[in-house]
Amino acid sequence: MADVENFFKLISLSLIKYEDPRTKDWFLVQSFSPVLIICLVYLFIVKILVPKLVEKRKPVELKKTLIVYNFFQIGFSCWLFYGFASNGWLSGDYSFVCQPIDVSSTPKAMQMAAFTWWYYMSKLTELVETIFFILRKKFKQVNFLHVYHHTIMIVSGYVATKYYPTGHGTFAGLVNTFIHIVMYSYYLLSAFGPNVQKYLWWKKYITTLQLVQFVIVTTHDLLLVTSHCQFPRIFAWYMILLSLSFYVLFRNFYNQTYREKRVEKDY
């Protein structure tokens, strides 16, 4: 663990020139060490601890908890979407082609930075989903895609808040919060049980929306490396590679979950 931490410290030192002075002292932004610890603890809990605890127990009924949790996530996502939209992307002040990092301390710039931090915090609240899946013994849901997605998004939230809390990189937050409004609405309705679930025929289209999201975000970020936009190239490539990794994994999930089942039905 020490070697891994030292590796990330070396990366952090090389990126120090890009640190945003406005956010560098904010909670869970000062150092990468707490972020690394959170990710490792999460992996330990969901892969070792909780599965062992529930191994000989019956699935836990969490209907009321899931309704409250998903309702909270819908509200949180709506608020974040409004923040990214009103302080930048739908305010007329941001360019969809090239939006450098706004390093000023104007109210809108500080608000955008604050919403980026809150978006980062939202990724911590989403870790609870994995615990819910395990307690309900839905182990199939806790696959590599699920765990990778939740873990890397914490890292991504940290990177965004620390280095580009405003500007071009926040577009992903705008798109992602919209997708989450739809996704958590589905989860909320699904939590009401079989009487409602039979009407939720549109589940697979959520994955389709997620795939469209990654295409849009990747294309948007590619504009940074094909132009003279004053946005650090290192973070442009980081966002592109992150989106591409999600696209590949979600595409594979879509093919395995929906296309292969459709082929089986045809036979």
Of these residues, 146, 149, 168, 228, which one is catalytic? 149
- Concerning whether 168 is annotated as a catalytic residue, the answer is no
Cβ proximity of 150 and 207 under 8 Å: no
How many Å apart are CA 18 and CA 204, to the nearest integer?
A: 40
How many Å apart are CA 25 and CA 175, to the nearest integer?
A: 27
Long-range CB pairs of 245-251 (<8 Å, 24+ gap) are 245/152, 246/149, 246/210, 246/214, 247/211, 247/214, 247/215, 247/218, 249/144, 249/145, 249/148, 249/149, 250/145, 250/207, 250/210, 250/211, 250/214, 251/211
Whole-number Cα distances in Å, 132 to 75, 151, 191, 200: 19, 16, 12, 20
Cβ proximity of 79 and 111 under 8 Å: no
CA nearest 181: which of 157, 209, 147? 209
Query: Could you give the residue numbers annotated as active site?
Result: 149
